[in-house]
Amino acid sequence: MAENFKEFDKAPILPEIQISRFSFRVRELILAGFSAVTLVVCLILVIFIGAQKGSTPYPTVPSPTCNSPPCFRAAAYTIENLNISVDPCQNFHQYVCGNFPKHNPLNPELSQRTVFWNLYYDNEEKLRTLMESPPIRDTAWSSEKKLKDLFKSCLNDYGKMAAGGKPFLDKVIAPTGGWNVLGNWNEASWNFQTALQKASVDFWTSCLFTFRVTTDYYNAQRRVIEITKNTVPTEDPHHPDKKIILRDLTLETGGVIDFTALLTYMFKDSGVNENTVIAVRQDDWIRRMTVMVGSLPTSDKKRILNNYIVWGMARSYIQDLSSEYIHASRDFNVDLTGVAAFPGLWRYCFSYAGQYFRDALGALYVRDHFADKNKEKVHEITDYVKRALIDSVLAGSIMDQNTKISAKAKLEKSVDKLGYPDFMMDDASLDAIYASITVNRSDYFQNVLNINKFVKEDWNRRLKQTETKDDWIYGTYETNMSFINRWNQLSIPAGMLQFPLYDYTLPHYTNFGCIGGLIGHYYVHSIDRWGSQYGPDGMYSPWWSSETRDKYDEAESCFSRAFENKTMGPFKVPGNSRLVTLPVPGKSFAREGLAETSGVRLAYKAYKNWEKIYGNELSAPGMNKTNDQMFFISYAQTTCFSRTDVLLFNYVLGQTIPEDIRTNTALSQLDEFVSAFNCPVTSPMNAKEKCAMFA
């Protein structure tokens, strides 16, 4: 082993690339590329400075400026998206993001571009390269090999075309009793309960309802089976009133569906029986659904249910068949939704592999594309932001004294889960996770069925075990973050800790503005109306006083008023040339608006506290901006977006407010922003009514 290591240690750090009769080291090619990029950046800065010459500058920046490559990189990105023809005090989002759509064009595969989606797409491309390379550990039990074989089997168009729809007909429809449409169905022998169980459990299709294993909201150390329909959940789905034992659920729904038989079939290895307590979301809907099924005409009942179940399975598996089935499904979806954007095959295969081999894929990512210094340094920002929130809560007016003490206790006990879990660096641990999965590079459809079996085994295992706070809810390469109240943890995967959101080499005004603003936002959620339901240990234990609740309601009402008289649009209606304008649903968004505004102010306070200790940073090159201005520009540029008309219209119909309105409303509430850009009292970016908040 020692000799092998010595031999490896003598190898060049970077290999050579042979081009014709010339030989260049990769480092030389990298240096040449970097020089070219630096030249482009300098040209951008010269053009930008020239465009600003003669205009009235905002407060002048201190000299000297930062001339390091990371500073140039950050400045070039900022300048690329700015629209300097817009007055920042009139429409700040348009000022900072006006050129984002131009540099982020849409295409049939990408119906929207945001900073977070761009990061995810970049991470996808990095992982695609790794997934297409031969496995380093090429053994039968290697999680890396299984992951890459699954990906390649999914990409095997030739094999799928040769098989056509036969795998679905033989391996899915036949075991569930055939299909009336195909003429291979025997009504007399077909049993609804048996078919429903096989479709729901063996073939992992949500027929009539869906179920899952999740954490009990009222006891964070316990897991519970949850039954629901595929919609937004009720506000408090695990309340004792929503729980019921399986036997009673079957009886109360008239025995139309034997829920005991179905869930004991699914969870036969974890001791589920008729006395098991489960959580039922949308319980009224479950009852109405079973009444509807029970009232179907007797003469047609079996035929209708058979068609419904098999059609549901067809919708679930059609993407796993040959291209003619996929195209038929796409035509149907276009007619149904008006949306014509679909992922390419490789992107679908990547998503599928990532869904079921998430940890193996995450390990590839962190080993090749993540600097541990990013993991180490971001702790500094979370600590500063958390400290700023504690100080603000103690000095603020929303909470009474006892509630402040409870909030401080929860925040001090909270944990930051950043980057990736340590086990991803251990091959044996990763291999053990996927030990029971068999993957065949040449038979994708069978791989799908094998994974169904694996998930069933995994859910049985999870249901038997107590909840652990060591789990990660996001894949390491994903670009999501959240505060998980049941664990009292802030979760930021490595995929988020990438440029332009974060890099340890960037100026602190950029890092605090970008990732710091998001951290502040999610930490506020740990102590707001929803977070107040959970104590420091993650257990359900409401700790707000009625006085605090009343003052919070007042703050929410203020934010609701901040959105009043604002409109969204005009939007093009799908399939129609008509333009429509919609009112902003301020009341439903007030809680989120309060958290976003509080979050950016917390990040600003945290940055100023850092500045008190370490001093003023060098200013951005070629920008003629103060560091405070760069902080707010950095924050706002995390919200740049570009979407198709159809997607944007559907987006707002779902009661979501576009980023430009959210960002402008949040910043207009902050005196610090108004001061940084000298916004007049009468300007849109200087709100007349400033709301109380947590910062």
In a domain, 290, yes or no: yes
Contacts of 587 (CB under 8 A, 6+ apart): 560
In a domain, 471, yes or no: no
- In the predicted structure, residue 303 carries a pLDDT above the cut 90: yes
pLDDT confidence tier of residue 565, bands split at 50, 70 and 90: confident
- In the predicted structure, residue 375 carries a pLDDT above the cut 90: no
pLDDT confidence tier of residue 512, bands split at 50, 70 and 90: very high
Total domains in the chain come to 1
In a domain, 213, yes or no: yes
- In the predicted structure, residue 516 carries a pLDDT above the cut 50: yes
Quote the longest CA-to-CA distance of the chain: 87
> First CA to last CA across the chain, in angstroms?
57
* Mean pLDDT score of the chain: 88
The pTM of this model reads: 0.84
In a domain, 439, yes or no: no
> Comparing 444 with 237, which gets the higher pLDDT?
444
| pLDDT reported for residue 241 | 63
Q: Running DSSP on this structure, what letter comes out for residue 496?
A: G
Q: What is the pLDDT of residues 178-222, one digit of tens each?
A: 999 999 999 999 999 999 999 999 999 998 999 999 888 788 788
pLDDT confidence tier of residue 466, bands split at 50, 70 and 90: confident
Contacts of 206 (CB under 8 A, 6+ apart): 200, 230, 312, 316
- In the predicted structure, residue 396 carries a pLDDT above the cut 50: yes
> Comparing 520 with 565, which gets the higher pLDDT?
520
Among 10-14, 420-424, 465-469, 626-630, the range scoring the smallest mean pLDDT is 10-14
Nearest Cα to 537, choosing from 418, 417, 416, 413? 413
Among 55-64, 221-230, 639-648, 676-685, the range scoring the smallest mean pLDDT is 55-64
Q: What is the pLDDT of residues 311-325, one digit of tens each?
A: 999 999 999 999 999
In a domain, 288, yes or no: yes
Q: What is the pLDDT averaged over residues 580-605? A: 95
In a domain, 316, yes or no: yes
In a domain, 221, yes or no: yes
Q: Which residue has the tokens 């659904």?
A: 289
| pLDDT reported for residue 2 | 38
pLDDT confidence tier of residue 26, bands split at 50, 70 and 90: very low
DSSP letters for 357-378: SHHHHHHHHHHHH--HHHHHHH
The neighbouring-strand residues paired with 419 are 493
| pLDDT reported for residue 339 | 66
The CA R_g of the chain, rounded to the nearest whole Å, is 28
pLDDT confidence tier of residue 52, bands split at 50, 70 and 90: very low
Query: Which residue range(s) make up the domain with 224?
Result: 166-320
H or E, element range at 567: strand 567-572
CATH of residue 224's domain is 1.10.1380.10
Q: What is the pLDDT of residues 233-292, one digit of tens each?
A: 444 555 666 689 999 999 999 999 999 999 999 999 999 999 999 998 877 888 899 999
Judged by DSSP in three states, 65 sits in strand
Q: What is the pLDDT of residues 65-105, one digit of tens each?
A: 999 999 999 999 999 999 999 999 999 999 999 999 999 99
State the number of CA atoms in the 13 A half-sphere of 341 facing the CB. Answer: 14
DSSP H helix total and E strand total for the chain: 29, 13
In a domain, 189, yes or no: yes
For the chain, helix, strand, coil in percent to 5 are 55, 10, 35
Q: What is the pLDDT averaged over residues 357-369? A: 95
Q: How far is 12 from 377, CA to CA, in rounded Å?
A: 29
Side chain identity, residue 589:
F
